[in-house]
Amino acid sequence: MTFDVAAIRKDFPVLHRLVNDKPLVYLDSANTSQKPQVVIDALANFMKHGYAPINRSAYQLAAEATDAFEATRSALATFINAPKANEVVFTKNATEALNLVIMSWGRANLKAGDAVLLTHMEHHANIVPWHMLVAERGIQLRWVPLTSDGQLDLTDLDSLLKDVKVFSFTSMSNVLGTINPVQRLCAAAHNAGAIAIVDACQSVPHQPTDVQAWGADFAVFSSHKMCGPSGVGVLWGRESLLEAMPPFLGGGNMIADVRLDGFTTAEVPAKFEAGTPAIAEIVALNSAVKYLTNLGMHNVRQHEIELSTYVLNTLNSRFGDDITIHGPTNPELRGATFSFAFRGIHPHDLSQVLDQTNVCVRAGHHCAKPLMRILGANATVRASFYLYNTTQEVDALADALDSASDIF
């Protein structure tokens, strides 16, 4: 199947919206992705015809809702090649999924002086919970540094991993676009006796995912970046690890029994799913998984390599030394997420000017302040592309950048 972007764009209603009589150029998908009609329909149809509580009522409507809910769990397991559907845990977002692992597994397994290895390109969600555990438990954090082109500098990886209990890292930087060698990093962690946690938020929507090939122990990602509704995060973990972990949040659904003097937990994944989840959103996420699967994640990845090649060629040839694009220069080593500095114009001012032609980019620190300090910036502009973006939109970005120079 050829990847037909024009046909794909027809599936996304918002891309046809005119803002101030001009088309939208949505380049903020690393932040959150737009939704295809099939997901919108699935959400609306479930709300109209199928909405009911899950897991707790005997009537047919509730049984159907439970089936639809669990179907998404199975679909996600297939999508990431998880061995078992019950290894997929729903959370409210990927941040909560990381907090779940860090607080549940971490509290049960880490003591004062234990070392955790992170990298300099992590999102705050893979930093702050660890800092909280530093304060609570006295663990110590180590960091994998970066090369000048924004890749992990793995020169001293083995010595950094010495006596480390956890290696927690991103599969793809949300700032630099760098795609990390997840399989190699997981193997190195295991060789050192550590578990491997993968923050897969930026890669799962954009390329094939195989958690077994990775050899990971845990992986987290979010629905809203992969064409699904917001309000849903996903944690995948090895069944044996999940079973050994204490619960994270307590309440309804996560118990086997509750007495006046205590409680016992339900089996995984229910043990980690306290309270009513985002039922309709999770049901609709199944349609996003189907949509991506039908397109083919290899095709999505190939499209984004082609876009990345076009972005790098266009911006570098048009602006030369006036633009500094962070991250790898080889499109094979990166996703289509580009942070850059342009002609000394502050990122806020630049994004404001781009907005005049509906070019939607993010300006700021991208929830990665330690990385921003390493880059020597308070903020960058970030243009991030997805399966529905075109080379014409790259040109629109370049034209808009050119117009910014006239003001400042």
Partner 1 sequence: MAGLEDLYREIILDHYRTPRNRGELEAPAVSAEGHNPLCGDEIRIFIDVKDGLVSDVRFNGSGCSISQSSASMMTTAVKGKPVDQVRAIVKRFKQMMTLDEDENSTIDESINLGDLEALQGVVKFPVRIKCATLGWNTLLDALAETGK
**Residues at the interface with partner 1 (CB under 8 A):** 20, 346-349, 352-353, 356, 363-365, 369, 372, 378-379, 407-408
DSSP letter (8 states) at residue 125? G
Q: Which is nearer to partner 1, 170 or 358 (CB)?
A: 358
- Which residue among the candidates 186, 201, 227, 367 is catalytic per the annotation? 367
Radius of gyration for the chain, computed over Cα atoms and rounded to the nearest angstrom: 22
Q: Which residue type, as a one-letter code, is found at position 240?
A: S
CA 387 → CA 43, 76, 344, 380, 399, distances in Å? 21, 19, 30, 23, 21
Q: Which residue type, as a one-letter code, is found at position 255?
A: I
Q: Which is nearer to partner 1, 45 or 352 (CB)?
A: 352
Q: Which is nearer to partner 1, 315 or 353 (CB)?
A: 353
Q: How far is the CB of 15 from partner 1 (least distance, A)?
A: 20
Q: Which is nearer to partner 1, 87 or 122 (CB)?
A: 122
Q: Which is nearer to partner 1, 268 or 371 (CB)?
A: 371
Q: How far is the CB of 350 from partner 1 (least distance, A)?
A: 9
Q: How far is the CB of 348 from partner 1 (least distance, A)?
A: 4
- The β-bridge relationship of strands 262-265 and 255-259 is antiparallel
Alpha-carbon distance 94 to 231, whole Å?
A: 9
Alpha-carbon distance 364 to 344, whole Å?
A: 15
CA atoms within 13 A on the CB side of 147: 12
Task: Confirm whether 360 is a catalytic residue.
Answer: no
Q: Which is nearer to partner 1, 278 or 345 (CB)?
A: 345
Indicate the SS3 state at residue 355.
helix
Alpha-carbon distance 185 to 178, whole Å?
A: 14
Indicate the SS3 state at residue 253.
coil
Q: How far is the CB of 364 from partner 1 (least distance, A)?
A: 5
**Cα torsion 194, 200, 206, 212: sign:** positive
CB atoms within 10 A of CB 22: 12
Q: How far is the CB of 214 from partner 1 (least distance, A)?
A: 32
Is residue 166 within 8 A of residue 122, CB to CB? The reply is no
Indicate the SS3 state at residue 48.
helix
DSSP letter (8 states) at residue 248? S
Identify the helix (H) or strand (E) that includes residue 21: none
Q: How far is the CB of 358 from partner 1 (least distance, A)?
A: 10
The residues assigned a catalytic role are 367
